[in-house]
Structure 1
Amino acid sequence: MCSICGIYGKRDYTPTLEKMIAAMDFRGPNGCFSYVDKGFYGTSNRLSINDLQCGTQPFSNVDGSIVVFFNGEIYNYKTLKEELQNDDIEFFSHCDGEILPFMYQKYGIEGFKLLDGMFGIALYDKNLRKIFLVRDIAGEKPLYYLHHQEIFAYSTLITPLREVIKPTLNHQAIWDFLTFGFIPEPQSIYQEIVSLPKGSILEFDCHDLTLKIKDFKEDCLKIHQVSYENPILATKELVSKSVYDRLLGDVKIGAFLSGGLDSSIVSALACKEIADFHTFSIAFCEGYDPHSAFVNESAFSQLVAKHIGSKHYELQINAKDFQKELESFIQSSDQPFGAISGIGIKLLARMARELGVKVLLSGDGADENFGGYAWYPKLRFNNPQAITPQKPKGWHYYAFEEEKKALFSEDFFANMQSSLRYFPTSDSLPLAFIAFDREFYLPYEMMAKLDRMCMSESVEGRACFLSPAILAFIQSLDYETLLLKGEKWLLKEAFRELLPQEILEREKHGFNAPIDYWMKKDWLWLLKESLSAKSALNRYGMLDKGASEFMLKLLFSSQVRVGNIAFYLVVLNLWLENLS
């Protein structure tokens, strides 16, 4: 686990590269490595997880013609390594990344389809004079690039690429941000910087300076697909294997444990394999979320921890604790990002690191893949109250287009595309809306949150419900099977004997901070400051003259989604203040 960046160009980029990798030292405090060849400059830093003594990058083949910089984990590397050893290839460590140049040497770019893992890979082929960028199919690990005149550059994060060129703000991305609380990929906050789509390979030709991108997700899913007759048995086997595979490492491993079904399954399975297993939960000491009720789940997380025998740690926090972390949260997010629960993830990752735990398992992805949200069963009824031109199914606490027009300056946001363009049409089949969550919300919010917040504290977060085999399996389930006996019935049936009955029967509860409550109370001054005449939002010319009056009236209208919109404005303003 680490971060990577690189440049191809016609001058000496060594000083630039040093600044780029230094901006990501928190993601890899255990070493920094560089490589230069005929205009290609590559570097990485390392967070040591596997083979703590080895792991020096770049990884290369025997004659050095294939060079790889790698961020992530390859969970099936041992199986792939055995196949390569049959070809008399000799390895000198048990680092997972060591197999990558030899996989490419044997299979070409087709070899990336065989990987089960989370990764951002940069491969330089000296003979072909080509650079390949590869990103995992679930979008767990980030990878950005820019192609500006004769310069091609890439980086794990966006911020280091500002050392290469002076980028310009992406107005459309900001417009979309207020709807979702994140910037939909492949956009970034800057016009010139692009996110490599998940499950794709970018090929840059150093001869003619052209690039092309190829999607490999569907091919990868076909390779990892396994046939099952019994969906309950399939769920049990696939999830168990995914969790066990994600115990890879030579360091202490723990898990987020909210007391919900997903994190409880992950923690229970992992605890069977690791004797001294640590679990971490958060408890909000005050506040009420009108959408999800009281947000203190400590009784459930303690119940599970006692049941499975983990060493459990609980962090009790309030609005002031979260406020203290706002600046750090915004800096760690790399670009405007409004998932406030990320602050809790960051705090727990910090606690884990201080206790010597370098890997945290997560239950992210179970809701999207196994039908966990309460509105999924309602999709079949097409309730008109849940579907309007402003409000697609299920998305109930985000800014509507007309609200953004009332808040934002028409001059700054001229000719914006509607953010509703991302959603399925209202007459789409129910499964299309679930697929939308899997392909849009899950990677762009959930995975971004897990990666940025954990890695900001030098801790690796691993999502246990996103293996290629699981993703292939859930694609084979139709809507009726997925929700045959209610939300996540497959997971409940598969792991019924593993968990306390109270956990199996409790209602779904997201990892939510009481944001509506806080924005009207402790954090109201932050919103007013963000809407003031002296705010960065106003200095950049983004706000309409009546924005403050409109937003405050909207906030106190008791609509549960409005606290999120207010927080997005606060985040955007503080991010711009840091940019100035």
Structure 2
Amino acid sequence: MCGIAGIFHCGTIKPVDPHRVEAMTDALVHRGPDGGGVWTAPGVGLGHRRLSIIDVAGSPQPMHSPDGRAVIVFNGEIYNFRELRRELEDEGARFRTDGDTEVILAAWQRWGVDCLPRLHGMFAFALYDLDRRELFLARDRLGVKPLFTAMLSDGSMAFASELKGLLAHPLLRREVDPLAVEDYLAWGYVPDHRSFLKGVEKLPAGHFRLLRHDNPPAAPRQWWDVSFADRDQGKTADLSAQLLHHMREAVSSRMVSDVPLGAFLSGGVDSSSVVALMAEISRDPVRTCSIGFDVAALDETAYAQQVAERFGTEHRSRMVAPDDFQLVDQLAGMFDEPFADASALPTWRVCQLARETVTVALSGDGADEAFAGYRRQVFHLREEQARSALPQALRGPVFGALGRVWPKADWAPRPLRAKATLLSLAEDGATGYARALSVIPPEGRFALYSTSFARGLGEYRAETPLVEMMRAAPARSGLDRAQYADLKFWLPGDILTKVDRTSMNVSLEAREPLLDHRLIEFAARLPHRERVRGKQGKWLLKHTMERYLPQDILYRPKQGFVTPLAEWFRGPLAATARTIVSAGGLARTGWFNPQALAAIAEDHIAGRRDNSRVLWQLLMLDKSMRGLGV
């Protein structure tokens, strides 16, 4: 795993200052503490920081092809590189190293952009072809590895694995995009179609760009997508056998490493499934680690310990204490852009714990998106059934009116907290799912905004890109569209961003076997009954893993990493909450209504409402703006 950065002149050829590229890569040293390098030629500069995983002694970057006609900087792992290497050797290619980086170079020289579908893994890379005078930027199918780009005032494009790499370039302007503020307050992160700073873009997952010196910058082009348009019709037993085969292949391919390897183990279905298959494959005990909380209702370490004992792993656990909120400045600094998924804190902690003994750790991320494991997806399936039974002409006025007057009773039992459901049922499926996925719904956000800021947004609403994505999805049903949105919108923007930044902060490589693209494509073809049965999401996965895992691991309610934010903001962070809304940087932006912000804090501290997620969003927004100097 590594960090990459570079500069490329579009429409002209100017010298590239290697010291600028070096400064960009120095900002990414946490991603690659084992070495670095810079290469420049007329109009182009590539920089690299290396975390050695495969071919530890060899494979320095930037790497040149044997004929010297192509140069690459690469962040990620290609899990099938040995098979590709044999294929390329049969066609005459010769290799000087034992790693995967040189295989990408040879694949480009043999197949051009058509090399991308042959690469199985996680990656973001920049490859310069000296013959074609062309820069090839590419990102993996699901967006496991990030790549930021920005057009600069001197006509060059800068790129880097993280925004902080671009921030090291003196020509990058630091002006906040107001639409990104709207996006962030809706989702708790800035999705991949936007960046917090104007002029900065993210190469979308499953896309590439080809840039030439004699042309304006070309737009990204999609090279992979997942389709829910087809269905496998096999029997459950046959589909279960296929699923297990895909999972075994995905796990085994990600256990190839020349450095110590382990796994995150939360005690949930997904991480426990990965550990079970690792234990089946490995001769030695699997190294596992987990994080717990000193709030009993949030702690799952007993389940993790149960799985560890079942498979004889070398298990370590650590508790997250209430005073971990003091690390919020460091947490904000990892993401550059505001990022309010509070599970980033325990994720960072478990990465720190893992890094004490391993350099690579496998995770269980991806199964919820692929197999319909989120409660919101199961609810959406039921809501879609209700929508199909009731015409919009009836649903809109009746449920809309009920939803508007229904109280927001955070303190009440779940069946009485129907406001969001009623408002969702009043809308079409895509709009309703966008509401379910959002942290703050549109009416809540606009109640916080100042009049001038709301006017500046015009007709834009953060939900619009997600709704359009769902409506255009290659899908048959509402559940398909919800999962498509989770894989294409939520997963790269939230989950994978969280894991990449927290793991890379401690120079740990995280691998996600349940995001193997063949497994994802298989899951997208499953009939509804194999994804959801009754109230059980992820049904086929759980059924398949019954031979490995006990019932209380498979079928207990989903927990996930939860941080005790509500308690923090009524206790040690109460004064911080008041400061954010009254005297912090946010109060000086003019974006918000001061009275509305104050009410958010006071209602939460008094226990009238649970506004902890909104307060956490505001806190992380304030911290990120300070870190960015805007």
TM-score normalised over the length of structure 1: 0.93
- 2:539 is matched with 489
- 2:446 is matched with 405
Q: In 1, distance between residues paired with 2:609 and 2:95?
A: 56
Q: In 1, distance between residues paired with 2:490 and 2:422?
A: 18
Q: In 2, distance between residues paired with 1:461 and 1:336?
A: 22
1:441 and 2:490 matched: yes
Map residues 163-202 of structure 1 onto 2, 5 A cutoff.
163=169, 164-202=171-209
Assess, with a 3 A threshold, how the Cα gap between structure 1 residues 381 and 227 changes in structure 2: closer, same or farther.
closer
Secondary structure in structure 2 of the residue aligned to 1:41: strand
Contact 1:138 1:198 in 2 (8 A): yes
1:415 and 2:456 matched: yes
- 1:328 is matched with 330
Higher helix share: 2
Contact 1:59 1:100 in 2 (8 A): no
- 1:363 is matched with 364
Q: In 1, distance between residues paired with 2:349 and 2:510?
A: 13
- 1:281 is matched with 290
Q: 1:560, CA displacement in angstroms?
A: 7.7
Given residue 492 of structure 1, which amino acid in structure 2 is its aligned partner? Answer: K
Assess, with a 3 A threshold, how the Cα gap between structure 1 residues 380 and 29 changes in structure 2: closer, same or farther.
closer
Given residue 505 of structure 1, which amino acid in structure 2 is its aligned partner? Answer: Y
Q: In 2, distance between residues paired with 1:396 and 1:165?
A: 33
Q: 1:381, CA displacement in angstroms?
A: 2.9
Q: 1:270, CA displacement in angstroms?
A: 1.2
Q: Unaligned stretches of 5+ in structure 2?
A: 387-398, 400-417, 472-476
Contact 2:37 2:47 in 1 (8 A): yes
Q: In 2, distance between residues paired with 1:449 and 1:90?
A: 38
Q: In 1, distance between residues paired with 2:21 and 2:42?
A: 15
- 2:313 is matched with 310
Q: In 1, distance between residues paired with 2:46 and 2:199?
A: 20
TM-score normalised over the length of structure 2: 0.86
Q: In 1, distance between residues paired with 2:257 and 2:7?
A: 31
- 1:291 is matched with none
Secondary structure in structure 1 of the residue aligned to 2:30: helix
Given residue 422 of structure 1, which amino acid in structure 2 is its aligned partner? Answer: P
Assess, with a 3 A threshold, how the Cα gap between structure 1 residues 199 and 48 changes in structure 2: closer, same or farther.
same
2:164 to 159, 167, 170: 159
Give % identity: 28
2:516 to 459, 467, 479: 467
Q: 1:435, CA displacement in angstroms?
A: 1.8
After TM superposition, the structure 1 stretch with the greater mean CA deviation from structure 2, 86-95 or 124-133, is: 86-95
Q: In 2, distance between residues paired with 1:173 and 1:296?
A: 34
2:339 to 324, 337, 340: 337
Secondary structure in structure 2 of the residue aligned to 1:481: helix
Assess, with a 3 A threshold, how the Cα gap between structure 1 residues 468 and 452 changes in structure 2: closer, same or farther.
same
Q: In 2, distance between residues paired with 1:543 and 1:98?
A: 51
Assess, with a 3 A threshold, how the Cα gap between structure 1 residues 54 and 559 changes in structure 2: closer, same or farther.
farther
Q: In 1, distance between residues paired with 2:382 and 2:93?
A: 58
Q: In 2, distance between residues paired with 1:506 and 1:388?
A: 29
- CA shift digits 1:372-398 (9 cap, x unpaired): 122333333326652526983372671
Contact 2:604 2:612 in 1 (8 A): yes
1:59 and 2:63 matched: yes
Contact 2:263 2:289 in 1 (8 A): yes
Given residue 246 of structure 2, which amino acid in structure 1 is its aligned partner? Answer: L
Given residue 7 of structure 2, which amino acid in structure 1 is its aligned partner? Answer: I
Secondary structure in structure 1 of the residue aligned to 2:360: strand
Given residue 298 of structure 1, which amino acid in structure 2 is its aligned partner? Answer: T
- CA shift digits 1:503-543 (9 cap, x unpaired): 1232211211122232222222221111123x111233332
Map residues 186-225 of structure 1 onto 2, 5 A cutoff.
186-218=193-225
1:43 and 2:47 matched: yes
- CA shift digits 1:397-429 (9 cap, x unpaired): 711222222223332453321112134489972
1:518 and 2:568 matched: yes
Given residue 527 of structure 1, which amino acid in structure 2 is its aligned partner? Answer: A
Assess, with a 3 A threshold, how the Cα gap between structure 1 residues 6 and 298 changes in structure 2: closer, same or farther.
same
Assess, with a 3 A threshold, how the Cα gap between structure 1 residues 13 and 559 changes in structure 2: closer, same or farther.
farther
1:504 and 2:588 matched: no
Given residue 578 of structure 1, which amino acid in structure 2 is its aligned partner? Answer: G
Contact 1:221 1:469 in 2 (8 A): no
- 2:502 is matched with 453
Secondary structure in structure 2 of the residue aligned to 1:314: strand
- CA shift digits 1:217-246 (9 cap, x unpaired): 13x989xx9997721111111111111111
Contact 2:15 2:44 in 1 (8 A): no
Contact 2:64 2:71 in 1 (8 A): yes
Contact 1:396 1:561 in 2 (8 A): no
Q: 1:346, CA displacement in angstroms?
A: 1.0
